[in-house]
Amino acid sequence: MSRRIGRLKTNSDHSSEFVIPISYGSTEVIETGKWGFQKPQAFFQTAPCQEACPAGNPIPQFLYLAGEGRYEEALEVILKENPFPGVCGRVCFHPCEKDCNRVQYDEAVSVNAMERNVFDVTFNHPPNMPPLSDADSKRVAVVGSGPAGLSAAYFLGRFGYRVTLFEARKELGGVMRWGIPEYRLSKSILRKEIKRILQLSIDVKTGVRVGKEISFEELDRFDAVFLSPGAGLSLSLGIEGEDLKKVWRGGDFLDRINSGDKLRIGKEVMVIGGGNTAMDVARSALRLGSRVTVAYRRTRAEMPAIQDEIHEAEQEGVRFEFLLQPVKISLLKNKKISVKFQRMRIRGRDQSNRPKAIPIQGAYVTREVDGLIKAVGEGVDLSWIPGTLCKNSLIHVNSSLTTPHPKFFAGGDAVDQPRTIVTAIGAGKRAAIAIDLYLRGHNHDDVFSKIRVGNKGVLSMESYLSGRSGGNWSEPKEVVSYPQLNTLYFEHSQRVEMSKLGKQKALKDFSEVNLGFNSKEARISALRCFSCGTCNYCYNCYFFCPEGAISLDAFHQTKYVDLDHCKGCGTCAKSCPRNVVEMKDVG
Amino acid sequence: MALPAQQPNLLRPGHAACAGCGLAIGMKLVLQAMGPRTITVIVPSCEGAIGGVYPNTSYGVSTIHSAFEIAAPTAAGIANALKIQGKDDIQVLAFAGDGGTFDIGLAALSGVTKNNEDIIYVCLDNEAYMNTGIQVSSATPLYAWTGTTPEGNPRRKKNIMEIMAAHYNPYSATASIGFPRDLQQKITKAKGIRGTKFIHMLVPCPTGWKTPSDISPELSILAVETNIFPLYEVEDGKRYTINREPRRLPVQEYLLKQGRYRHLKEEQIRQIQMDVDEEWERLKQRAGHSTQIDK
Amino acid sequence: MPCINEGMSMKDFMTGNHAVANAVKLCRTPFVAAYPITPQTAIYERLSEWEASGLLKGIMMRTESEHSAMAACIAASLTGVRTFTATSSQGLALMHEMLHFAAGCRAPVVMANVNRLLAAPWGFWADQLDSLSQRDTGWIQFYCENGQEALDAVIQAYRIAEQVYLPVMISLEAFFVSHFMEVVDLPEQEQVDRFLPPMDLPHKFDIEKPGFLVPVVSSELYRKYKHMAQGSMDSVKKVAAKVDQEFKKEFGRGYGIVEPIMIEDAEVVLVTAGSITSTARMVIRDLREKGRKIGLLKIRLFRPFPVEAVRDVLKGKTKIAVIDRNISLGSGGIFCQELRAALIHSPDHPLTYSYIAGVGGTDVTPEVIQKIALEVMNRSEPFDKPIWVMEE
C-alpha cells in the first residue's frame, strides 16, 4: 500500500461518524471489467431440427414457450413460419426428430407431438395473424388450394398483397382435404387452419378450374401468379386389366371416402403400392370392414411411405406381401378379381440409387380378391399449362421456384420436390418471398442465401422480414452440432409417447387414432428440448457468473452483461449447455 | 425453467475474487437466498479478501469481519443479542473457509453447535488455505497437491458432516455450486429452522486447483456425479436424505481435469475410487437404502 | 444469610464472586457468555442459576472456551446489548487476541477477572500478572480491594464503558477477594436503573443501512482510529473520576481513581493495589501511631494510568515503595514500572523502590508490609532492581 503523508482521501464521510471504520460504499466503483481481455457475446445459432424442417418451424423457440405454458405465444411463433401447425402436428413425417441432437444423448425430442399439442391447446383461442405491411395494390393469383397454394396465399396476404385463390373443387385444402383420411387428419382442424389463413382477406374462387372456367391467359392480368395444382393423376401400372371398372385408383378411393361416401369394396382387399397413399388406402379399407393386404414390388425397407404409417398399418392388422409386381389383372366369373404377380428379388441399384428389384424368371403367383386398389404414385395434370413452363412431366422451376416466365412461379407436388405436405408448405413460403422480391424489383440470389436456415434449403420468414424494408440482410446463423453442446447439464430422460386409440376402437370408424399429450406429458416433452443455439433461460450463466454480471429477463427475453465488471473468466460460455455464449477478445 | 426468485444480488460486482472463483459463485448464491434481512459474519480467508477494502464493500448486507477462528461464536453472539432485542425476523449467517471450519475454528464451531445456537453456518470449502497461498488443510483431499504437500497430501479429507452429525444439530447439508437451485433451496430450508444449521459447500478454486477459470461449475457437478461429494442432508444427526442419485461417473472424470491431481498414478486413482465407493455405500446405509430425489 | 436493612439498601453477607454476580444482575445485563475456570466459577454458576430461574432476564451462552466467550460478547455488544463475561488466568490469556479485538471494535464489554497466577507451573492462587499482561490491549482496568468495591466497580464500569466505548476489566484477587465473605451493601434496583441509562451504541449493526463493520483499512486509517481510541482512553481519567463522584452521590460510596491514605506529611509512601491495600491500611495506622511518617497510595484505576492524579498526590514526596503482587520477568513489578514512568519528570525526583510481594498467592501479612516500610525508611540510594520479599 503506498504511503501518503497528508490528508487521507476517502470517498465517504462516514468515517468521521463512528469510532470504528464501517464501509458503506459499494465495490461496484471498482471496474474489475478491466481485468479481462475477453468478454462474452451471445452467439445464436440454428438447431439441426430447424434445418431439417422444410417449413422452417422455429422449433426451440416454440418448445420453450410451450414449456413455459405460454401457448398462444408458442403458436404465434410457429405461425410466423408455417400456417399449418395443426395439420403438420397430425401428418408431418417429422424429419426434425431424426436430426435432433438429443438422439445422440438418449432419445429425440417429441417435436411432432408438441406441434400438435400447441395447436390443440390453443384451439379455442388462437392468435390473430394480421397483415404485416400496409395493403399493397399489386395482385397475385394462386392456383390450387393445397398446402403449397394456401401457404403461398397466407404469406402473400401477410405481405399485404391482394391475393386471389383459385380452386377447381368446391372446397379448399387440396390433398389435405381429399387425400388424407379423417383418422389421420380431422377435417375440422383443417377448416380451422384455413379459416385463419382466410382472415387475411384472400379472395377465394372455388369451383373455378383454370383451363375451364377461366383461361390460362386470364391469369396474365395478375402481377404475379403461383401455380400449385398438385399431383392428382393416378399413375398407371402399365399392365392389362388395370382399367377395369372394379379396380380402384388410390386417389379416387380416398377422395370418395373424404367426400363422405360410404363405400363397399369387398371382404378381401389388396392394395398395390408402398407409399403413403397406399398406407392410407389400406387403413381406410380396414375401417370399411375389409381384410387388407398390401403388395409391394420391393421389400419393407424400400417402401417410400413414412415409417410411422407403415408401423401403424401393421399394428392395425394390414398384411404385407413383398417382392410382388402385378403383371395382369382379370375379372373372374364369381365376380372376384384375379391378380397375377411376378415374384421379384433385389439386385443392385437403379438410377436414383435405390435398391433395384428384378423379376425372378418364371416365378409367378396369383391372388384372388374382392377388391383391388392401385396406389403407385400420382402424376401432374399439365394439360392446361403452356408447354414452355413444363419439363419432365412437371412444371419447370429454378431454385427460387420461378418458371421460365418471370411472372409465373410454381411449387408443391407439381414441381420436382419431395412430395410431403411440409415440403409444400415450405415451397409456398419460398415462392411468396420470391414473388415479393420480384414485385419489388430485387435480385433473388443472395437474399435466399442470407435468409436460409441451415443448409438444406429451408428459409426463414422472420429473417426475410428483418431485412425487407432496408434491403439489407445479415449473415445467416450456423447450425449447432452435438459436440458443441455441453451435455453435462442435461439429465437423461425418456421420450414420452403419445397415447393412441386401442386397435379395436381405432378400426371401428374413422376417429382420430392419435390422442395427443396431456399437460404433464406436454411439459415433460417440451422441457426435453436441448434448445440448441437458442437461449431458453436455463439461467446457468446467471447463476454461475462469479461477478453477478449477467442479468436475464425470461419474460421479455432480454440478456445483459455488465461489462464494467466482467472479468472474462469464460464460465458463462463454458456452462451454456446450448453453445449460445462465446468469449470474444476485446481491444 | 422456473424463473429464479427476483432477489437483489447481495454480492456486488467489483469484488476482488480471481476470475472464475467458485467461492464467489457460492457466496452470491447463498446471499441471494438469504435476502437483505441478514447479518453476516466474514472471517479472514478468501471471503475476507474478496469483500473489498475500506470504504467499499461487496457485501450488500450488514456484515462484520471477525477474527479467523470465531465465525461461529460471533454469529451466535449476534443471534442471541437479536433474540434479546426481540428481533426475530433477522437471520444470522456465518461464512468460513475450510481452514476456519475444519481446523482452527473447529472447537468454536463445535461449542456453538452443541448449544444449538440459532445461526446458519456455511463452510466455503475450497480444500486448502487459499487466501494465504495454497497450503494444506484438513479439508484437502487425499493425494492433492498443495504448496505445503508438494508430493501430494498423504491424508484423507476429514468428514466434517459426520463431525457435525455427532452434535445432533437439527440440520446439516452438503451443497455444490453446480446445483444452484438445490443450494438455494437448502438455504431457504435452513432459514425456517431454529438452531444450528450447517452447510458444507464445495467451491472450486481455479488458482489453487490449477484449473482454467471457466470450469468451476462443471467441476462442482462432476464432484457430485462421481460421488466424491454427494448431495445429502442430515437432520438431528440421525436422518440422512440423499438428494440426488448420481450418475456414478469414474473419479478420473473429475480428478484429471485439475492440475493439482496431474501427478496421480494409476494406483492412487484406484485408491481414491475405492475410498469414494466405500463412503458412498456407508452413506447409503445411513440413508436407510432409501434415496430421495428431490430437486 | 443475616440481612440488615439500612435505609434504602440491603446488606448481605457474601463472597466477592457473588458480589460481582449481583452487580451484573442489578445492571440488567441480558447477555453473558462465559467458560468456567477456578476461581471464577462461582460467578458463572450464580449467573447460570439466575438465568435458568428467570431472575436474570436474558441469555447465557455456555461457550466451549474463553476465546469464544469474548468473541460472542463483542458480537452481541455490537448488536447493541449489554454484555458480561468473567474469567481468570489461563482463560484471560486465551482471550488475548479477542481483547485487542474488543478494544478495536470499541465494544463496551465489561469483564470481571479473578486474578490468578499463570501456569507454568500450576496453581490457583492470587497473582496480578494475568490482567496486568493485558495492559496493552486497550481495556480500561480497575483493581478492587474487596467484594463491595468489586460490586460497585461493575456498575461504574458499564457507565464508563458505554460512554467512551471502550471495554472495562475489573480485577479481584483469587480467594482473597473472590472467596472471602464479607458484608456487602446491595444497592436497590431502582438506584441502579437511575444510574445506568439503557445502552446505546452508535456503531452497532443497522439492518436498514447495511455497513461492513471492521474492514481492512490503510495504514493511515488504522493509525487514525488508534489515535481516536487513545483520545477516548485518555478521557477515561476524567470520566471515571466523575462517574465515581456521581456514584457516591447516588449510592453513598466513592473510591476515587486513586486513594491517598495518611499521606500528607509522609516521608515514605507505600503504593498498593487490590487486597494488599486493606492490610496496608492497618499497618500504616499502626506505624503512624508509633510516630512513623508513612503514607499509603491505593491505585484503583490502572488503565489509563492516572498519571496526573498520581503526580498530584505524590507532590513533594521523595521516597516511594511500590508493592507488586506480580513480576514481569526481565523487568520488575508492573505497577512500579508504570509509576516510575509517571514520575519521570517530577521535580522531586523521588526514589522509587520496587517490592515484589505476594507473587503466586503468597501471604502479604502486616509484618511483611511493615518490614517493607521500615526497610525503605532506611534506604537512601536509588535501587533499580525489584526487591523480592520472601519469608524464610
Let me know: does A135 contact A160? Beta carbons within 8 Å. yes
The answer to whether residues A245 and A298 belong to one domain is yes
Task: Judge whether A109 lies within some domain.
Answer: yes
Q: In this structure, how many other beta carbons lie within 10 angstroms of the beta carbon of residue A356?
A: 16
Task: Judge whether A553 lies within some domain.
Answer: no
Q: Are strands A268-272 and A371-374 parallel, antiparallel or unpaired?
A: parallel
Task: Judge whether A29 lies within some domain.
Answer: no
- What is the distance in angstroms between the Cα of A285 and the nearest Cα belonging to chain B? 46
Let me know: does A166 contact A208? Beta carbons within 8 Å. yes
Q: Per residue in B224-240, pLDDT tens? A: 999 999 999 999 999 99
Q: Does A13 touch chain C (CB under 8 A)?
A: no
Subunits next to A (3 or more Cβ pairs <8 Å) are B, C
**Burial of A261 per CB tally in 10 Å (0-12, 13-18, 19+):** exposed
Provide, for chain A, the percentages of residues in helix, strand and coil under a 3-state DSSP scheme, each rounded to the nearest 5. 35, 20, 45
Q: Which stretches does DSSP call E strand in A393-488? A: 394-395, 408-410, 452-453, 458-459
The answer to whether residues A286 and A199 belong to one domain is no
Task: Sort out which chain A residues have CB atoms less than 8 A from B216's CB and list them.
Answer: 544, 546, 571
- What is the distance in angstroms between the Cα of B38 and the nearest Cα belonging to chain C? 7
Q: What is the chain A residue with the closest CA to C217? A: A21
CA separation for the pair B66, B112 (Å, rounded)? 16
Residue range of the domain that includes A91? 48-127+479-527
- What is the distance in angstroms between the Cα of B213 and the nearest Cα belonging to chain A? 5
* Contact criterion met (CB < 8 Å) for B13 and A548: yes
Q: Does B216 touch chain A (CB under 8 A)?
A: yes
Residue in A27, A543, A569 nearest the CB of B29: A543
Residue in A3, A8, A23 nearest the CB of C211: A23
* Contact criterion met (CB < 8 Å) for B111 and C217: no
* Contact criterion met (CB < 8 Å) for B57 and C33: no
The answer to whether residues A256 and A332 belong to one domain is yes
* Contact criterion met (CB < 8 Å) for B107 and C98: no
Let me know: does A339 contact A328? Beta carbons within 8 Å. yes
- Please give the pLDDT value at position C8: 56
CA separation for the pair A165, A146 (Å, rounded)? 11
Can you say how many angstroms the Cα of residue A363 is from the centroid of all Cα atoms in its chain?
43
Query: Would you kindly state where each structural domain of chain C is located, as residue ranges?
Result: 4-184+217-251, 259-388
What is the band of B6 on the pLDDT scale with cuts at 50, 70, 90? Answer: low
The answer to whether residues A159 and A277 belong to one domain is no
What is the band of B288 on the pLDDT scale with cuts at 50, 70, 90? Answer: confident
Residue in A23, A542, A562 nearest the CB of B56: A23
Q: Does A21 touch chain C (CB under 8 A)?
A: yes
The answer to whether residues A216 and A151 belong to one domain is yes
* Contact criterion met (CB < 8 Å) for A554 and B215: no
Q: What is the chain B residue with the closest CA to C102? A: B66
pLDDT in single tens digits along all 587 residues of chain A: 334 333 333 344 444 578 999 999 999 999 999 998 999 999 899 999 999 999 999 999 999 999 999 999 999 999 999 999 999 999 999 999 999 999 999 999 999 999 999 999 999 887 788 888 888 889 999 999 999 999 999 999 999 999 999 999 999 999 999 999 999 999 999 999 999 999 998 999 999 999 999 999 999 999 999 999 999 888 888 888 888 888 999 999 999 999 988 888 889 999 999 999 999 999 999 999 999 999 999 999 999 998 889 999 999 999 999 999 999 999 998 889 999 999 999 988 888 888 888 999 999 999 999 999 999 988 999 999 999 999 999 999 999 999 999 999 999 999 999 999 999 999 999 999 999 999 988 876 688 989 999 999 899 999 999 988 888 888 899 999 999 999 999 999 999 999 999 888 888 889 999 999 999 999 999 999 999 999 999 999 999 999 999 988 888 888 899 999 999 999 999 999 999 999 999 86
CA separation for the pair C116, C45 (Å, rounded)? 18
H helix intervals, A145-275: 147-159, 175-178, 187-198, 250-258
- What is the distance in angstroms between the Cα of A521 and the nearest Cα belonging to chain C? 47
- Please give the pLDDT value at position A8: 36
Give yes or no for residue C392 having a pLDDT over 60: no
Q: In the beta sheet, which residues pair with residue A295?
A: A272, A321
- What is the distance in angstroms between the Cα of C211 and the nearest Cα belonging to chain A? 5
Q: Which of C51, C232, C251, C276 is nearest to C153 (CA)?
A: C251
Task: Sort out which chain B residues have CB atoms less than 8 A from A537's CB and list them.
Answer: 1, 3
The answer to whether residues A187 and A259 belong to one domain is no
Q: Per residue in B41-66, pLDDT tens? A: 999 999 988 888 999 999 999 999 99
Q: Does A539 touch chain C (CB under 8 A)?
A: no
Residue with cell 476524567: C238
Q: What is the chain A residue with the closest CA to C201? A: A18
Measured at the alpha carbon of residue C198, what is the angle toward residues C196 and C204, in degrees to the nearest 5?
130
The answer to whether residues A150 and A181 belong to one domain is yes
The answer to whether residues A253 and A370 belong to one domain is yes
Task: Sort out which chain C residues have CB atoms less than 8 A from A22's CB and list them.
Answer: 203, 211-215
CA separation for the pair C392, C384 (Å, rounded)? 24
Which of A12, A531, A539, A543 best tests the B interface by mutation, with the highest count of B CBs <10 A?
Answer: A543
- Please give the pLDDT value at position A9: 37
Task: Sort out which chain C residues have CB atoms less than 8 A from B115's CB and list them.
Answer: 61-63
Subunits next to C (3 or more Cβ pairs <8 Å) are A, B
Measured at the alpha carbon of residue C186, what is the angle toward residues C180 and C189, in degrees to the nearest 5?
145
Q: What is the chain C residue with the closest CA to B84? A: C58
Task: Judge whether A456 lies within some domain.
Answer: no
CA separation for the pair B35, B29 (Å, rounded)? 10
- In the predicted model, what is the mean pLDDT of chain B? 93
- What is the distance in angstroms between the Cα of C26 and the nearest Cα belonging to chain A? 28
The answer to whether residues A374 and A239 belong to one domain is yes
Residue in B54, B57, B107 nearest the CB of C64: B107
- Please give the pLDDT value at position B93: 98
For residue C76, give the H/E element and its range. helix C66-79
ipTM of the complex: 0.93
Which of A9, A23, A550, A580 best tests the B interface by mutation, with the highest count of B CBs <10 A?
Answer: A23
Mean pLDDT of C246-256: 96
Give yes or no for residue C5 having a pLDDT over 70: no
**Burial of B27 per CB tally in 10 Å (0-12, 13-18, 19+):** buried
Tally C-beta pairs within 8 A across A and B.
Answer: 133
- Please give the pLDDT value at position A129: 85
CA separation for the pair B122, B91 (Å, rounded)? 13
* Contact criterion met (CB < 8 Å) for A21 and C215: yes
Q: What are phi and psi of B8, to 5 degrees?
A: -70, 155
Q: Which of C141, C50, C61 is nearest to C103 (CA)?
A: C141
Residue with cell 401468379: A225
Q: Per residue in B133-173, pLDDT tens? A: 899 999 999 999 999 999 999 999 999 999 999 999 999 99
Subunits next to B (3 or more Cβ pairs <8 Å) are A, C
- What is the distance in angstroms between the Cα of A19 and the nearest Cα belonging to chain C? 7
What is the band of B3 on the pLDDT scale with cuts at 50, 70, 90? Answer: very low
Task: Judge whether A543 lies within some domain.
Answer: no
Give the number of domains in chain A: 3
The answer to whether residues A81 and A191 belong to one domain is no
CA separation for the pair C271, A69 (Å, rounded)? 87
Which CATH number goes with the domain that contains A223? Answer: 3.50.50.60
For C43, residues 6+ apart whose C-beta sits below 8 A from its C-beta are: C17, C18, C20, C21, C24, C34, C86, C112, C114
* Contact criterion met (CB < 8 Å) for B80 and C214: no
Task: Sort out which chain B residues have CB atoms less than 8 A from C79's CB and list them.
Answer: 39, 77-78, 81-82, 85
Sheet of strand A139-143: strand arrangement: A203-206, A162-167, A139-143, A224-227, A408-410
The answer to whether residues A366 and A425 belong to one domain is no
- What is the distance in angstroms between the Cα of C29 and the nearest Cα belonging to chain B? 11
Task: Sort out which chain A residues have CB atoms less than 8 A from B55's CB and list them.
Answer: 10-12, 14-15, 21, 23-25
Task: Sort out which chain A residues have CB atoms less than 8 A from B226's CB and list them.
Answer: none
Tally C-beta pairs within 8 A across B and C.
Answer: 143
Q: Does B292 touch chain A (CB under 8 A)?
A: no
Q: Does B41 touch chain A (CB under 8 A)?
A: no
Q: Which domains does chain B have, with CATH numbers?
A: 22-286 (3.40.50.970)
Let me know: does A195 contact A111? Beta carbons within 8 Å. no
Q: Which of B201, B237, B286, B239 is nearest to B110 (CA)?
A: B237
The answer to whether residues A228 and A239 belong to one domain is no
- Please give the pLDDT value at position A348: 87
Q: Can you name the CATH fold of C259-388?
A: Rossmann fold (3.40.50)
CATH superfamily, with its number, for domain C4-184+217-251 = Thiamin diphosphate (ThDP)-binding fold, Pyr/PP domains (3.40.50.970)
**Burial of C182 per CB tally in 10 Å (0-12, 13-18, 19+):** middle
Which CATH number goes with the domain that contains A62? Answer: 1.10.1060.10
Which of A5, A7, A18 best tests the C interface by mutation, with the highest count of C CBs <10 A?
Answer: A18
Q: Are strands A233-234 and A268-272 parallel, antiparallel or unpaired?
A: unpaired
Question: Which residues of C, range 50-109, sit inside 8 Å of B by Cβ?
Answer: 58-59, 61-65, 67-69, 71-81, 83, 97-98, 101
* Contact criterion met (CB < 8 Å) for A20 and C224: no
Q: What are phi and psi of B174, to 5 degrees?
A: -95, 155
Can you say how many angstroms the Cα of residue C53 is from the centroid of all Cα atoms in its chain?
30
CA separation for the pair A336, B138 (Å, rounded)? 91
Whole-number percent of chain B with pLDDT over 90: 91
Let me know: does C343 contact C352? Beta carbons within 8 Å. yes
